[in-house]
Amino acid sequence: MNKLIKYTILLLLLLANSFLFAQNNCDWSTLDDASENYRTGNFNQVINLLEKCMNEGFNEKQKVQAYRLLSKTYLALDRDSTANASISELLKIEPQFQPDYLSDSPKFISILNNIKDKNNALLVTSVSKKAENINEAPATVVLITEKQLKNRGYLDLEAMLHDLPGFDISRSNGNLYSHIYQRGYRSINTNRTLFLVDGVEENDLWSSNVYLSRQYAMSNIKNVEVVYGPASTMYGSNAFLGVINVITKEPQDLIKPGKQIGINAKVGYGSYNTMFFDGTIAARTKNNNFALSFTSRIYFSDEQDLSSYPEHSYEPRTLTTDLFDGYHASLNITDPTEVADFLANNPNPSNLYSLNGSNEIILTDAGVQQALDYDNDVYNKVSFSDKTEAYFFEAKLKIYDLLIGGTFWNKAEGPGAQYNDEMFMGFDQGQSWRPVHNYFYVKYDKDVSSKLNISNFLRYKVHDLDKDNNIVRYRKNYLSGHFDMDTLIRGGLPTWGDLYLFQKSNQLREEFKILYTPIQRIDIVAGFEARFSSIQGDYTASGNNDAEENGSPLTEIPGGNQFFSRDLGLYFQTGISLHESLKLSLGIRYDNNKIRETEG
C-alpha cells in the first residue's frame, strides 16, 4: 500500500512537471506556432505566445525572430509605435539585422531601415575597433556624417577640420600644405595625430607626417570619426593625441536599392584657377554577392598669389647698407697669397675693385653695383608661383565577406609661404614637394554567429617621394660668397641649383581580430598585429632627378641607409554594462619592437 502511494505521488509529480515544462517550453517550436497564428490572422495569440517567452526561455537568436514577428503583428494591428519599439529591441540584439525582402512587408522593411539609419548615425568604430554607440564609447568622439559634409559644402577633408573643436591649424601651403595641431599640443609637423582611411594608417612611414591636402576623394566618404585623446590600446603609441578615421563606402553602399550601378561625381572650378574632378562609379550583381567600385580625384590650383608680400615678391633687390657691407664681406680679398694669385690672374686694372694701402683688394662702389645687378638678373626672370597638382585613384572589390582594395595618390605642392624669395625659387622653376602613397589590402570580416565576429586585415603599403621632388635653392650668387671676385671680373651670372631628394619606405602589416559578445551586456575585443617595415634612414640626394638611382645619402649611417624593423602587438579590451547609464571599459596592450638586431 505504501509503495502504491509512493508511485502514485511520483507519477503525479512527473505529470505536473511535464505539464509545467509544456507550459514553459519556449523554443523554436513556439516561434513556429506563433508564425502559424500570424499567417491565420490570430494576432492576439501571437502576442500571448511570444511575450510570455521573452523573459522565460528564448535565447538571443530566438528573441531576434520573436521581435521580428511581434513587430509585424503590431503593424497588422495598426499599433505602429509598439511595432517601432519591438524593432528597436531587435536591433539592440542584432544591429546588422537584414530583413527578408520576399516575406517581410514593405512597411516593416521601411521602418527597420529608418531605425537602422538613426542608430547608425550614432555608431562609431574607431575607438574600440567595433561598432558602438557614440555615447558609450570610452573616449571623446566627434562623428561627421556624409550628410553633414555635403550640407556644409566641404570640398576637401582639411577644410572640415577647421570647424572641429580642439584643432589649431596653420595653413601655409608648402610641403605639408597645412600644419594641424590637436588638443593644444604643437609640434613642428602634423605627426602626433594618427590619420586613417578605412583603418589603413596614412601617416608617412618615414616621417610620421600627415600629408592632408586636397588629394583625398570626397565622393565615396561615408563618415569621418575623430577621436580625442590617446588611443594606444587599439592603435599603439602613434595615436598620441588622437585619431582621425575616414570611413569610405563599400561598393554596394554606393548603389541605390533595386539598382545595379551607381555613380557619384562632381566637378568644380574656382578662384586661383582651381579645378577638380571627384567621382565614384560602382556596380554589383543582383544577389549583391559581388560588387566593385572605382574612385578618382584630380585637383589643380595656382593657389593664392603672395607676390604682394615682400618675402615672396621676387623683386630685384635695392642696395642697402646691409647689402653693401654683405658684398664687401663676401668679395673683398685680404689674404696676401690670395691677393697675389688674383693679381697674377687679372693683370689688367678694373673699376670693379681697388688695391688699398694694406695691399688688399677692395670692392669699389661700381663693383658692388655690378655684383648686385648680376644677382638681380635671376629675379628679372622669375615671379612667384605656387601651383598644386594632386591625383587620387582607388579600386575596391567585394566578394561575399571578402574586401580587396588598392589606393594610389600623389601630389605636388609648390613652396607656398614656407619658403621665401631670399634663397628659394617657385613651382615654375621646379620647386615642389611630391609625396607618393600607395597601398593594397585584403580584409575578411565574418559573423561566425550572433555572438562571434572574426576579421583579418592584411595590407602592404609603399610611401616614397617622386623623382621630381625638388628643392630649388638660389645660393650660388655673389652675396652668398659662392661666386668670388674672379667670377665678377669675368661677368659670371648666378643661377639657382636643384636638390632632388628621394626616400622610399614600405611595410607589410597583418592584423587578426576577434569580437565576442557572450551576453548583451558584455563584449570582448582581442587582436594580434604584426608589422614588418623597411624604413629609409636619410634622404638620398642628387643634382638631377635621378636621386633614386644615382644619389647619395645626405648623412652616412652605420649599417646602411635602410632600417628593417619588426613590430608585434597584442591588445585586449572589454566593455561591461553595469547599468543603463554606466559602462566599464578595461583595456591592455603589449608591444615588442625590434629594429635591425639590437635596437627597439
* Mean predicted confidence (pLDDT) in 382-409: 97
**What is the structure's pLDDT at 503?**
97
Query: What's the whole-model pTM score?
Result: 0.84
Report the C-alpha gap between 24 and 437 in whole angstroms.
62
**What is the structure's pLDDT at 123?**
84
Checking if the pLDDT of 17 tops 60, the result is no
Binned at pLDDT 50, 70 and 90, residue 553 comes out as very high
DSSP per-residue string spanning 378-412: HHTT------EEEEEEEEEEEETTEEEEEEEEEEE
**What is the structure's pLDDT at 371?**
96
Q: What percent of the chain has pLDDT over 70?
A: 96
Enumerate residues 6+ apart whose C-beta is below 8 A from 491: 374
Output phi, psi for 107, to 5 deg: -65, -45
Instruction: List the CATH code of the domain at 128-248.
Output: 2.170.130.10
Checking if the pLDDT of 566 tops 60, the result is yes
Output phi, psi for 69, to 5 deg: -70, -40
Report the DSSP beta bridge partners of residue 589: 571
Let me know: does 411 contact 370? Beta carbons within 8 Å. Answer: no
Nearest to 460 by CA among 502, 410, 510: 510
**What is the structure's pLDDT at 100?**
83
Check residues 577 and 257 and name the one with the higher pLDDT. Answer: 577
**What is the structure's pLDDT at 49?**
86
Compute and round to an integer the Cα radius of gyration of the chain.
35
Output phi, psi for 146, to 5 deg: -60, -40
Q: Where are the beta strands (DSSP E) in 45-126?
A: 123-124
DSSP run (H or E) holding 294: strand 290-301
* Mean predicted confidence (pLDDT) in 508-513: 98
DSSP run (H or E) holding 17: helix 2-23
Output phi, psi for 156, to 5 deg: -155, 165
**What is the structure's pLDDT at 258?**
82
pLDDT digits (tens, 9 = 90+) for 56-107: 778 888 888 899 999 999 999 989 899 999 988 888 888 778 888 778 888 8
Checking if the pLDDT of 7 tops 70, the result is no
Binned at pLDDT 50, 70 and 90, residue 278 comes out as very high
Report the C-alpha gap between 321 and 368 in whole angstroms.
11
Q: Which CA distances in Å does 421 have to 59, 189, 328, 426, 437?
A: 73, 22, 22, 8, 30
Checking if the pLDDT of 301 tops 80, the result is yes
Q: Spell out a b/e string for 431-457, using b for 16 or more CB atoms within 10 Å of the CB, else e.
A: bbbbbbbbbbbebbeeeeebeebebeb
Q: Number of C-alpha atoms within 13 angstroms, CB side, residue 597?
A: 1
Mean pLDDT of the chain: 91
**What is the structure's pLDDT at 10?**
52
Report the C-alpha gap between 24 and 189 in whole angstroms.
66
Q: What percent of the chain has pLDDT over 90?
A: 69
Common-topology check for domains 2-120 and 128-248: no
Checking if the pLDDT of 20 tops 80, the result is no
Cell of 427: 613651382
Report the C-alpha gap between 593 and 4 in whole angstroms.
78
Axis crossing angle, helix 60-76 with helix 28-39, rounded to the nearest 10: 10
Residue labelled with grid coordinates 621630381? 468
pLDDT digits (tens, 9 = 90+) for 152-164: 999 999 999 999 9
Output phi, psi for 239, to 5 deg: -85, 65
Checking if the pLDDT of 15 tops 50, the result is no
pLDDT digits (tens, 9 = 90+) for 343-357: 999 988 899 999 998
Amino acid at 279: G
Domain map of the chain by residue range? 2-120, 128-248
Q: Where are the beta strands (DSSP E) in 369-521?
A: 388-399, 402-413, 435-447, 452-465, 470-476, 495-502, 504-519
Report the C-alpha gap between 306 and 312 in whole angstroms.
6
Residue 256, burial from CB neighbour count under 10 angstroms (0-12, 13-18, 19+): exposed
Q: What distance lies between CA 563 and its chain's CA centroid?
A: 24
Lowest mean pLDDT among 9-13, 48-52, 370-374: 9-13
* Mean predicted confidence (pLDDT) in 462-482: 95
Enumerate residues 6+ apart whose C-beta is below 8 A from 139: 127, 227, 228, 229, 231
* Mean predicted confidence (pLDDT) in 470-490: 94
Check residues 390 and 240 and name the one with the higher pLDDT. Answer: 390
Nearest to 67 by CA among 24, 102, 115, 21: 115
Nearest to 34 by CA among 2, 1, 7, 58: 58
Amino acid at 64: V
Question: Dihedral angle at the C-alpha atoms of 355, 358, 363, 364, nearest 10 degrees?
Answer: -60
Overall fold of domain 2-120: 1.25.40
Cell of 475: 645660393
Check residues 123 and 528 and name the one with the higher pLDDT. Answer: 528
**What is the structure's pLDDT at 2?**
56
